[in-house]
Amino acid sequence: MKNKYILNVMKIVARIHNSFESKFGIPRQSSLAPAVKSRIVFEKEYRNPDAIRGIEGFSHLWLIWEFSEFKDHKQTLTVRPPRLGGNKRIGIFATRSPLRPNPIGLSSVKLEEVIFDEKAGPILIVSGADLMDGTPIYDIKPYIAYTDSHPEAKGGFTDDHEFKSLEVTLGEGISIPEEIEDDILSLLSLDPRPQYHDDPDRIYGMSYAGYDVRFRVKERVLTVVEIVRGC
């Protein structure tokens, strides 16, 4: 069977729901924004509590999911990782770029809570997800520390380009709604901009939880200049 048909055979077992309304602003890796919570809601076929029996004994989970917003990209064997400033090409299989031959993502998330809804069945509350709202999930597996954790592991080009968070400030008269304040401050500190952008006068916009957040960055300081309710 050709690769392009594989995802038509695999079953979607769940979808994630959160406040990430667009790709811009989503953390580039899982676990970078632990303040952000998401809900994993199972498809009808898998809403039997027996399907997750014992899952509460694990603190973290692996999610295998689809880059559903990158289906029609041009095929390529090399990409420009943001960590390298978008200027140097690296082999696709040496990166976590979404522009893959098969649009499959892998994320490690923390299991915060298991709740039960009368209609939706068991729901997993997780933190640290880097998935857009509505993303289809093909499998959920427990994270097992003694086999999955490798403290001595090398990080390739990422070891030589340490990530540095931004200082986040609010412009005059700007306030962030309390219900999303922790999320917004955490996400903005990760620098949502394309990493090859360095224009201190440019204003960027990020949608989150029904709000449009606009900001500019100068010398590692991000300043929120406007935050308004989206349409």
- CATH number, domain of 55, equals 2.40.30.70
How far is the C-alpha of 92 from the C-alpha of 211, rounded, in Å? 34
20: DSSP letter: B
Among 135, 121, 139, 117, which Cα is nearest to 16's? 135
Asked if residue 123 and residue 29 are part of one domain, the reply reads: yes
End of a domain among 101, 123, 148? Answer: 148
Please state the rounded mean pLDDT for residues 152-157: 87
| pLDDT grade for 9, boundaries at 50, 70 and 90 | confident
Q: Which of 123, 148, 173 represents a domain boundary (last residue)?
A: 148
- Please tell me whether residues 199 and 110 are part of one structural domain: no
pLDDT, average across residues 134-149: 96
Give the residue, 49 or 230, on which the prediction is more confident: 49
State residue 99's pLDDT score: 87
Flag whether pLDDT at 3 surpasses 60.
no
- Order of strands across the sheet that contains 204-208: 167-170, 221-229, 211-218, 204-208
Domain that holds residue 59: 3-148
Q: Which amino acid is at 106?
A: L
Same domain, 107 and 176: no
Whether residue 123 is found in the same domain as residue 171: no
> Looking at the domain assignment, is residue 154 inside a domain?
no
Whether 159 is covered by a domain: the verdict is: no
pLDDT beyond 70 at 101: yes
77 is a domain residue: yes
Q: What is the pLDDT of residue 161?
A: 66
Alpha-carbon distance of 121 to 118, in angstroms, equals 6
- Quick one: pLDDT at residue 117? 95
- Going by pLDDT thresholds of 50, 70 and 90, the confidence category of residue 180 is very high
Alpha-carbon distance 155 to 184, whole Å?
28
What per-residue confidence (pLDDT) applies to 66? Answer: 94
Domain end marker among 91, 120, 148: 148
Check residue 110 and give its pLDDT: 97
Number of separate domains in the chain:
2
Q: What share of the chain is helix, strand, coil (3-state, %, to 5)?
A: 20, 35, 50
Summarised one tens digit per residue, pLDDT across range 155-166 is 887 777 667 789
Residue 167 banded pLDDT, cuts 50, 70, 90: very high
Let me know whether 35 and 138 are in one domain. yes
Look at residue 231 and tell me whether its pLDDT is greater than 60.
Answer: no
With cut-offs at 50, 70 and 90, classify the pLDDT of residue 97: confident
Domain presence at residue 180: yes
Tell whether the model's pLDDT for residue 1 goes beyond 50. no
Residue 135 and residue 180 in one domain: no
Backbone angles phi, psi at 105, to 5 degrees: -115, 155
Same domain, 186 and 72: no
Q: Does one domain contain both 130 and 20?
A: yes
CA–CA gap between residue 43 and residue 39 (Å, rounded): 13
Shared-domain flag, residues 201 and 138:
no
Q: What mean pLDDT comes out for the span 176-204?
A: 90
Q: What are the pLDDT digits (tens) for 34-92?
A: 889 999 999 999 999 999 999 999 999 999 999 988 766 677 899 888 777 777 899 99
Q: Indicate whether 184 pLDDT > 60.
A: yes
Q: What are the tokens at 209?
A: 């939880």
**What three-state secondary structure class fits 90?**
strand
Is 123 contained in some domain? Answer: yes
Alpha helices in 21-74 (DSSP H): none
* Summary mean pLDDT of the chain: 90
Same structural domain for residues 14 and 75? yes
Whole-model pTM: value is 0.87
Collapsing DSSP states into helix, strand and coil, what is residue 122? strand
Dihedrals phi, psi of 61, to nearest 5 degrees: -135, 155
> Does 116 lie in the same domain as 10?
yes
> Would 153 be classed as within a structural domain?
no
Same domain, 26 and 134: yes
